[in-house]
Amino acid sequence: MCWPDIHKILSQLVYNQGEPLIFSTGLFLWLFLFFITGFYLVHKKHNLKIAYVILFSLFFYYRSSGIYFLLLVTSTIVDYTLANFIYKAETDARKKAWLVFSLILNLGLLGYFKYTNFLAEIFCNVFHKPFNPFDIFLPVGVSFFTFQSLSYTIDIYRKEIKPVERITDYAFFVSFFPQLVAGPIVRAKDFLPQINRPVFVSKEMFGRAVFLLASGLFKKAVISDYISINFVDRIFDNPTLYTGLENLFGVYGYALQIYCDFSGYSDMAIGIALLFGYELCLNFNSPYQSSSITEFWRRWHISLSTWLRDYLYISLGGNRHGRFRTYLNQFLTMLLGGLWHGAAFKFLLWGMMHGVALGLDKFTKEFVKIPDSKWLKILGMILTFHFVCFCWIFFRADDMKGAFAVISQIAFHFNPSVFFDFVTGYKNIMAVMLLGYSLHLTPVTAEQSARKFVTELPLVFKVLLLVAIIVTVIQFKSSEIQPFIYFQF
């Protein structure tokens, strides 16, 4: 092998902001094959296994955020130390003081990277001053590992868990690469007990891992990326160039895109973890089958919605202080959940709309007796889906002006006469969207049967299934890497 070849290989290992290391790239596949081979060579030696996984996880994060992997290292050391201070504090006042200090550091860190420019812009607008954005790089996944660390310190403060003895165990939990940059958000009390168990991957776990990897890769690289590049991005980049009907299908396309993108990542993360014998929590459960907005949030981004419930909603008082405070706490939780997604008024509005909808849903269920009817459930699914799609407009648009442009086109320039020309012109997009929504609306029993079928396949057929999915991905793949949507959060 000559020097240019070696140099080319080494260049793939160096951070490149335009090419993050993501599960659906060929580079990750090759690195993962080398990594998992090494893992099973050292997995019986606990300390070596822990160090091996931590080092690969830090490299994985370095390839996504460059020098900011040191931020993850620093955060790990600081949070591990503060958690021990909380646990060893002799009085409740000291425990609370250490917890508050931990919250200030973690939320301050998150606030600096995500909200400095947002707050500065508001300040400049209020005082009529020119706004020049600060050059602040947003490290990939900072929202995820910050919330993960907070769950550890808060659970120790609440006496639900004890701190781990070794910082390496804590570093393993925080940096575990499958879920590091885009979730699921893993709780310390769920993951830490698994670290010291002997590595064991049952036939059922391996089969489920293959199924999740295949389905996740298909959802991300075949459905999500394809409709994004060839349709959705075009609509949202210039909504006024398209009719209202095309804008409406663009919204439907984005609803499918973000679901397939994020749930596809979560499926792959859970599947990769299973190959090492670790169980991660379910993050999506067919959310567009929901018949109410409350049910939607029990099915969508489950690790975040339950985190917000347990660590924010309950901390605000939950439902312990009367009906008005319950509604207020729920609204504030969703408002802050919207702000977690991004530093912009469109995300605040997105969270606000969901907060109001959750309150109305809760109020209706308390005071209106709704009969148990199949047709009412279907109507509820249709209404919930379209409300969620309406909110997605603000989530996806570049700014508020762009969001209102999409809405205006749909409301005032619908032009249904172009329907057949539209379907003919975008027949491949329509076929992929139809496939995506059909798979999503598949009954749970059918999905379980498919998972069982894959689990019971001989090993060679499991490998062939993954190869077939990879070949399909290559056929649909664009020339540029398409990062996961939630990398930016």
The strand ranges marked E within 143-252 are none
Q: How many helices (H) and strands (E) does the chain have?
A: 24, 0
Do 304 and 282 meet the contact criterion of CB atoms below 8 Å apart? no
End-to-end Cα separation, the chain, in angstroms: 41
Which ranges of 313-426 would DSSP assign to H, the alpha helix?
314-316, 323-341, 345-367, 374-396, 400-412, 419-425
Alpha carbons 26 and 30: distance in angstroms, whole number: 6
Task: With H, G, I as helix, E, B as strand and everything else as coil, classify residue 284.
Answer: coil
- CA-nearest of 63, 65, 25, 388 to 220 is 25
Do 393 and 407 meet the contact criterion of CB atoms below 8 Å apart? yes
Do 56 and 35 meet the contact criterion of CB atoms below 8 Å apart? yes
- CA-nearest of 265, 303, 275, 125 to 200 is 275
Provide, for the chain, the percentages of residues in helix, strand and coil under a 3-state DSSP scheme, each rounded to the nearest 5.
75, 0, 25
Indicate which residues carry an active-site annotation.
341
Q: Give the C-alpha distances (Å, rounded to integers) separating 352 from 74, 268, 427.
A: 34, 31, 36
Give the list of residues 6+ apart from residue 207 with CB closer than 8 angstroms, or none. 451, 454, 455, 456, 457, 462
Alpha carbons 393 and 405: distance in angstroms, whole number: 10
Q: What is the DSSP letter of 198?
A: P
For 279, the token pair is 């169980």
HSE-up of 196 (CA within 13 Å, CB side)?
Answer: 8
Question: Which amino acid, residue 394?
Answer: F
At which residue do the structure tokens 């459930």 appear? 377
- Long-range own/partner contacts, residues 368-377 (CB < 8 A, 24 or more apart): 377/291
Task: With H, G, I as helix, E, B as strand and everything else as coil, classify residue 176.
Answer: coil
* Buried/exposed 295-332: b ≥16 CB within 10 Å, e otherwise: bbbebbbbbbbbbbebbbbeebebeeeeeeebbbbbbe
The string of DSSP letters for 229-274 reads IIIIHHHHHSGGGS-HHHHHHHHHHHHHHHHHHHHHHHHHHHHHHH
